[in-house]
Amino acid sequence: MKSAQPMWQMRAADKGRSEVLAALRSDGGYVSGEQLSRRLGLSRNAIWKYVSSLRTYGYIIEASPRKGYCLVTTPDTPYSWEVSSLDGQRWLGGYSVYLPEVDSTNKLTKELARQGAPTGLCVVADKQTAGRGRRGRNWVSPPGSGLWFSLLLRPPMAPSEVPCFSLIAGAVVARAIRQVTGLSAMVKWPNDVLVHGGKVCGILIEMSAEVEHLNHLVVGIGVNVNLSANQWPAELRNVATSLSQESGTKVRRLPLLHAILQEMQQWYERLLSVGAGPLLEEAGELSATVGQQVKVVAVGQQPVCGLAVGIAADGALRVQISPGEERLFYAGDVSIR
Ligand code: BTN
């Protein structure tokens, strides 16, 4: 019996749509049906079918009997054919799954990892019905307004090195936000991304590991892109914000997702080749925590207040609680006072 195609494998129709889009984009203006057909090795009828289906997904493609087709507008939706790169330069997101709605992209990615999904898989949803935050909290994930996605990675590192990776992930997102929006994104230890002091991104890293061996990481990233002030529940109104709230303008999700994937791939490759040291140093330049008076609440411990003096080589936050007395934190909620 023929087995069902795994969810992460690109469907023939998605491949066709992605090839037609790439050809329309590379030429910019009008491309004749005949040229498209020759270039892609598809019949003119097949081209017409892909163009029609792209229109149902919100693409505006003009057709003129004499000039051919012209891509006018692309919807800002992370469809799998938009996320996966055709040129193969970017392996991160080379396989991707897009769902209009899912309970949690982390939960689905963990399930797909168990089914043998490839490293670099990116699972994106427009809306999460049970988005998960750190420490069992909920993550507000309404449709059309955020980037809710998870990455599957299998780094050759020990479980004890994961805290460093977690810090690096925050710096990666902050850098991508800076590139795309110009906003001065900073990282609150370990990996919350803040703009003007408000949280615009949270990262939930889950791992499957044995004592000495890491099987895989699921890196769940939630970026509040275009949420408006009234979309936050009362308890988050003073804590959370979005890129559009802070920049005063709507931000496109797709270029931001591409920038995060690109930056993450580069930093991941550097991490494996040069180790965490230089990356943590660079990440430290974006720290909103170091140099600040902080309160750290770690599980099962009394809250501790002090001056955040730095980040240790293993990713721990160093807090000076009295002259000459320093404590290291590997996990916990930090508030800047
Ligand atoms: C935090 O508490 O700050 C972490 C929030 C992480 C949210 C993201 S959204 C995509 C992925 N799927 C989830 O269920 N959670 C993460």
Q: Give the ligand 1 atom nearest the CA of 131.
A: 14
Do 122 and 45 share a structural domain? no
Q: Is residue 7 part of a domain?
A: no
Specify whether 128 is located in the same domain as 60.
no
Domain shared by 141 and 28, yes or no:
no
Give domain status of residue 6, yes or no: no
Residues 49-84: pLDDT tens digits? 999 999 999 999 999 999 999 999 999 999 999 999
What does the CA dihedral 36, 40, 46, 47 come to, rounded to 10 degrees?
-30
Distance CA 46, CA 38 (A): 12
Residue of 102, 106, 189 best suited for mutating to test ligand 1, as the one with most atoms within 8 Å of CB: 106
Which DSSP letter does residue 234 get? G
Residues 264 and 201 in one domain: yes
Residues 190, 243 within the same domain = yes
d(CA 332, CA 188): 12
Domain total in the chain:
3
Would you place residue 3 in the very low, low, confident or very high pLDDT band (cuts 50, 70, 90)?
low
Answer for the pair 201, 192: CB distance below 8 angstroms, yes or no.
yes
Identify the CATH number of the domain in which residue 316 sits.
2.30.30.100
Do both 157 and 24 map to the same domain? Answer: no
Pair (137, 270) in one structural domain: yes
Q: What pLDDT, on the 0 to 100 scale, is given for residue 150?
A: 98
Which CATH number fits the domain that encloses residue 22? 1.10.10.10
Residue 127 inside a domain? The answer is yes
Ligand 1 pocket member 106 (CB < 6 A): yes
* pLDDT per position as a tens digit, 18-53: 999 999 999 789 999 999 999 999 999 999 999 999
Tens-digit pLDDT profile for residues 157-175: 999 999 999 999 999 999 9
131 touches ligand 1 (CB under 6 Å): yes
**What is the tens place of the pLDDT at every residue in 171-221?**
999 999 999 999 999 999 999 999 999 999 999 999 999 989 999 999 999
**CA dist., res. 11 & res. 273, Å (int):** 34
Do 58 and 151 lie in one domain? The reply is no
Pair (329, 263) in one structural domain: no
pLDDT the model gives residue 77? 97
Prior bond to 159 cis, omega within 30?
no
4 assigned to some structural domain: no
Q: What is the pLDDT of residues 224-261, one digit of tens each?
A: 999 999 999 999 999 999 999 999 999 999 999 999 99
Query: Which of 251, 266, 284 is the last residue in one of the domains?
Result: 284
Q: Are residues 60 and 153 in the same domain?
A: no
59 and 123 together in one domain:
no
- Does the residue 26 lie in any domain? yes
Residue 311 falls within a domain, yes or no?
yes
Nearest-atom number in ligand 1 for the CA of 192 is 3
Which residue do the tokens 């040229």 mark?
35
Cα 182 versus chain centre, distance: 18
Average model confidence (pLDDT) for the chain? Answer: 95
Q: Given this model, what pLDDT does residue 239 score?
A: 95
- Ligand 1 atom 3, closest CA: 202
Q: Is residue 94 part of a domain?
A: yes
Which of 73, 89, 108 finishes a domain? 73
Q: State which ligand 1 atom lies nearest to the alpha carbon of 106.
A: 12
CA distance 238 to 290: 22
Q: Is 306 in the pocket of ligand 1 (CB under 6 A)?
A: no
Contacts for 301-304: CB closer than 8 Å, 24+ residues apart = 301/332, 304/329
Question: Residue 205: beta bridge partners?
Answer: 219
Q: What is the CATH number of the domain that holds 266?
A: 3.30.930.10
Atom of ligand 1 nearest to the CA of 201: 3
Question: Residue 1 pLDDT > 60, yes or no?
Answer: no
Other CB atoms within 10 A of residue 155 CB: 16
Domain's final residue, options 263, 284, 305: 284
Render pLDDT for 130-141 as a digit per residue (tens, 0 to 9): 999 999 999 999
Ligand 1 proximity of 85 Cβ (cutoff 6 Å)? no
Residue 308 lies in a domain: yes
Do 54 and 125 fall within a single domain? no
pLDDT at 168: 95
Condensed to tens digits (0 to 9), the pLDDT of residues 298-328 reads: 888 899 999 999 999 999 999 999 999 999 9
Task: Check if the beta carbon of residue 313 is closer than 8 Å to that of residue 276.
Answer: yes
Q: Which domain holds residue 316?
A: 293-336
